[in-house]
A and B are shown apart, each in its own frame.
Chain A
């Protein structure tokens, strides 16, 4: 029980340290552009070829 708590505390400390480090490194002005580049592709309509590929694979397994 105590060991689990120590592990959990350490994990929380690691997460806290990471957040602190991220805060210490200010995001450059272009950083939001990088996320927008990524998100713009995520939000694109998905070509049918992908779902067709998975359906074909699924059928081939049956």
Chain B
């Protein structure tokens, strides 16, 4: 009897210790992916303040759902799914107008070979924001975040072929805009981006 009682306490204690260790590990991993969540959110919605709001919303949802996270799997991929879903929900509520902040991007220059003069990252960001959300997120995940096509397909809950096609189309559109010099100016870009995104969302909503 004594032995049984000792065993029961011991098992409970071990379970407690394990869950405390799991919780600490979860928090550590979640903290580690925050910079990536901010980068993904900034790429999706443009404005740093709204992007950070989206990251906070993601952290709250991830924390509430931590039982569903499988230790050993990718925290970055898991939280990107949450962020993406929160973004799409907020987009449908018209919370975000595609916008961006010149302050950081304007200072950083890219100089593509074979092109006269450097290209501002802010131009690239603005061009990115004119893409429909499905193509933008696919390009962000694969072209900026370094995810494989398979991982990106898991995050976007679609087929690998669909992701490849979205990335290809996004690249082609951006290349054409840059080569032809048709990147919209800031004020126009916002309107174009927003209209493109809302049209795409309305289309996908009416199709489903």
Contact = CB atoms under 8 A, between A and B. Distances in A.
Interface of A: 18, 21, 25, 28-44, 46-47, 49-51, 53-54, 57-58, 61
Contacts of A18: 148-150
Size bracket of the B interface = 35 or more
Q: Which label, helix, strand, loop or mixed, suits the secondary structure of the A interface?
A: helix
A37 B38 contact: no
A57 B42 contact: no
Q: Which label, helix, strand, loop or mixed, suits the secondary structure of the B interface?
A: helix
Interface stretch (B2-10, B23-31, B84-92, B189-197): B23-31
Contacts of A39: 39
A54 B66 CA distance: 13
Nearest to A14: B150
Interface in B120-179: 121, 124-125, 128, 139-140, 143-146, 148-150, 164, 168, 171, 174-175, 178
Contacts of B39: 37-39, 41-42
B60 interface: yes
Nearest to B171: A28
B104 interface: yes
A47 B59 contact: no
B34 interface: yes
Given A41-B42, A50-B59, A34 B31 contact: no
A17 B121 CA distance: 32
A58 B27 CA distance: 8
Interface string B91-124: 0000000000000110010101111000101001
